[in-house]
A and B are shown apart, each in its own frame.
Chain A
Amino acid sequence: MELELGVLWAAIVFYVLGGSLAILSVVLKKRPERTVLALLATGLALHTLALGVRWERVGHGPFITMFEILSSNIWSLTVAFLLAYWRIPQVRPAAAVVMPILFVMMGWLMLTHPGEGHFPPTYRTVWLYIHIGFGKVFLGAVLVAVGISGVILLRSAGIGVEKFSPLPDSGRLDELSFRLMAVGLIFETLMLVAGAIWAQDAWGRYWAWDPLETWAFLTWLAVAFAIHARLTFKTQPQTGAIMIVAVFVLAFLTFFGVPFISTSPHKGAV
């Protein structure tokens, strides 16, 4: 366990260095983007190693305890942001919004007990991996959308207007963020469908309105509402950005809050 935690803390050091540099580059209007990419990619490689070592040690993937759920989501969100940072140079300054969110999650991870949990027999199915994988893509897409929305909101509040000047205008950012929401809607839908297939075989019912199912469906409705409202009312970028932040808050509470208010996120899991 010490090796795995040592590697994980090293990964977090690289994440913090890369993320801080990304934020500083926005504030100081510098462009150390290759260094940021290298630091984040190194952190990601170390994090992958830490997850792999734990997987090998405990015999199951990082899906059970809050420590594992947080760690695997920090990993997947970093992958999502790193891909966006690498492939869409326009959104790089959104790091000033995305990285603080990831830092909060990393701080939470460091305060969480790294003990093991029981992997129930109902989790031994390929649908678990498919369900969780789709969920991670959804949250990753929404996180990048939130980063972009944060820039729109900061700009509209008159904060960092000059610092964010290399970014496209807010109209284009709004379009980009809603593209990501559309990707999010597809993967949230896939997550719900894969989860229903898993639930049918694991617990003999495809839907039972357990806390996680309920909040995941409310999140789906919120995403559908945001996309529909933007189309219907041709909303301003600020309004769209507020809706995206609201969706992210709801999704974040669903992913990380429900396990706190319910002793068994999916009833029958044990």
Chain B
Amino acid sequence: MQVRIEAALKALASLKLTLVILVALAAGIVVSYNSEVRTTWALVVPLVLFAANLAAAVATNGIFRRQTALLVFHLALITIVLLVAAGRLTYLKGQLELAEGETFSGFLKQQEAGPFHWSRLDRISFVNEGFRIQYAPGVRRGRTENVVAWQDGSGQWQRGVIGDQDPLVLRGYRFYTSFNKGFAPTFLWHARGGGEPQFGTIHLPSYPIHEYRQALEWQPPGSRQTLWTQLQFDEVILDPERPSEFRLPRDHTLVVRAGGERRELQPGDRLELPDGTLEYRGLRSWMGYTVFYDWTLPWLFAACAVAVGSLGWHFWGKFSARPWDQ
């Protein structure tokens, strides 16, 4: 039995098998890259084989007992494969939008997550306190500076600026500003049946990408009435001819169409509807964020550093025995 296991391990540790696996991995990448449907198996199968091949080689090949650097390099490679697998099983990637002054409540607009992701987003709270984005001539976006406030571990509120390469990191979740941002009309909804008025915002399509499509269809909370809302303004916000900055228009009109009725609203105006009253409170901005969670990131970085370092150490030892110019 033991002889059989040893023979199987040696077969699994074969350097020729390594070459076959490298080709299979390359083929899997090409298949996945060109495939319209999800083909995770094309990467997973060669990677599992790769890890098994490396582990068997480390266990059976005597060279790893003589060459420590090579051993460390191969162990680091196995670690990287295992960490990538663990990361894919537990990661989270999503998108959210927050109007200025709005608090993140744990709701993501879109998300994908590994099967073993245990969400802690409901324990996270931060507020979008507004942003600045400079534009170069030609409407070329510059740096994003988004002021955010969040509660730290002791419950104290902290403030900081995030944007582009600087995410907000809370409980391992990394919140990045995205290039999506725009205008957010705010409303108070007074339901016909009484009760506390509800405050809410609608996020018009991203600006300036959808500069000429600043309209949205939506329904007030608890209402069956569909409203078509369009933001109208004449001034140029982002001038293609000169440097400018994203800002709210100084003068604007909010056009609301409810059934056959069309109204132009200014902040403070009210619109009577069959099941309530809509009060326009004014215009704000909204910012789009991407959120990413992968607990393996620092470990992956460490494993990569060890892999490269040990590879360099291995080759240095090998080549220093004979100078390059001899």
Q: Shortest CB–CB separation between residue B7 and chain A, in angstroms? A: 19
Contacts of A197 in B (CB 8 A): 301
11 additional A-B pairs beyond A125-B165, A179-B319, A221-B22, beta carbons within 8 Å, are A179-B315, A182-B315, A182-B319, A186-B308, A190-B308, A193-B308, A203-B176, A204-B291, A209-B32, A214-B33, A217-B29
CB < 8 Å: which of B19, B144, B297 contacts A200? B297
Q: Give the docked Cα–Cα distance between A231 and B174 (Å).
A: 43
Question: Within the complex, what minimum Cβ distance (angstroms) separates A228 from chain B?
Answer: 6
Bitwise interface map of B from 290 to 303 toward A, beta carbon under 8 Å scored 1, else 0: 11101001001100
- State whether the Cβ of A88 lies closer than 8 Å to any Cβ in chain B: yes
User: Residue-by-residue, is A203-230 near B (CB-CB < 8 Å gives 1, otherwise 0)?
Assistant: 1111001000010011001101100110
| A122: nearest chain-B partner, CB-CB | B164
Q: Which of A163-208 contact B (CB under 8 A)?
A: 176, 179, 182-183, 185-186, 189-190, 193, 196-197, 200-206
Bound-complex Cα distance A185 to B19 (A) = 16
Find the A residue at minimum CB distance from B318.
A182
Of chain A, the residue at the smallest CB distance from B30 is: A218
Identity of the chain A residue whose Cβ is nearest the Cβ of B176 in the assembled complex: A204
Other-chain residue from B19, B33, B290, B324 in contact with A204 (beta carbon distance below 8 A): B290
A121-B141, A205-B93, A225-B19 in contact; A193/B304 too (CB < 8 A)? Answer: yes
Which A residues contact B (CB, under 8 angstroms)?
A: 87-90, 118, 120-122, 124-125, 176, 179, 182-183, 185-186, 189-190, 193, 196-197, 200-206, 209, 214, 217-218, 221-222, 224-225, 228-229, 231-232, 270
**Please, which residues of chain A bring their CB within 8 A of the CB of B301?**
193, 197
Residue of A nearest to B300 (CB): A206
* B141 to chain A: closest residue by CB: A121
Cα A18 to Cα B104 with chains together (Å): 63
- Chain B interface residue count, CB cutoff 8 Å, equals 45
Min Cβ gap A240→B in Å is 14
Are A118 and B93 in contact, CB atoms less than 8 angstroms apart?
no
Once the chains bind, are A121 and B143 in contact (CB under 8 Å)?
yes
Question: Is the C-beta of B221 less than 8 angstroms from some C-beta in chain A?
Answer: no
Type the 1/0 row for B115-143, where 1 means its CB is closer than 8 Å to any CB of A: 00000000000000000000010101111
The one of B23, B32, B142 in contact with A121, judged by C-beta atoms closer than 8 angstroms, is B142
Q: A204-B290, A218-B26, A221-B25 given as contacts; is B15 within 8 A of A118 (CB)?
A: no
Residues of A within 8 A of B304 (CB): 189, 193, 196
Residues A209 and B165 in contact, CB atoms below 8 Å apart: no
> Which residue on chain B has the smallest CB distance to residue A193?
B304
What are some 23 contacts across the A-B interface (CB < 8 A)?
A88-B324, A88-B325, A90-B325, A120-B141, A125-B165, A176-B324, A179-B315, A179-B319, A182-B315, A182-B318, A186-B308, A189-B307, A193-B301, A193-B305, A197-B301, A204-B93, A204-B167, A204-B292, A206-B297, A217-B29, A225-B23, A225-B26, A228-B15
Considering the complex of A and B, which 5 residue pairs feature the smallest CB-CB distances, nearest first? A201-B165, A232-B15, A204-B176, A204-B290, A193-B304
- CB contact under 8 A between A121 and B311, given known A87-B324, A202-B164: no
In the complex, whether B250 has a CB less than 8 A from a CB of chain A is no
A205, B292: Cβ atoms closer than 8 Å? yes
Cβ proximity bits B19-59 to A, threshold 8 Å, 1 near / 0 not? 10011011001101100000000000000000000000000
CA distance A228 to B324 in the complex (A): 21
Q: Given A186-B315, A206-B297, A221-B26, A179–B167 Cβ distance below 8 Å?
A: no
B19 with A232: CB separation less than 8 A: yes
Q: A205 — which chain B residues lie within 8 A by C-beta?
A: 93, 292
A224 contacts across to B, CB distance below 8 A = 22
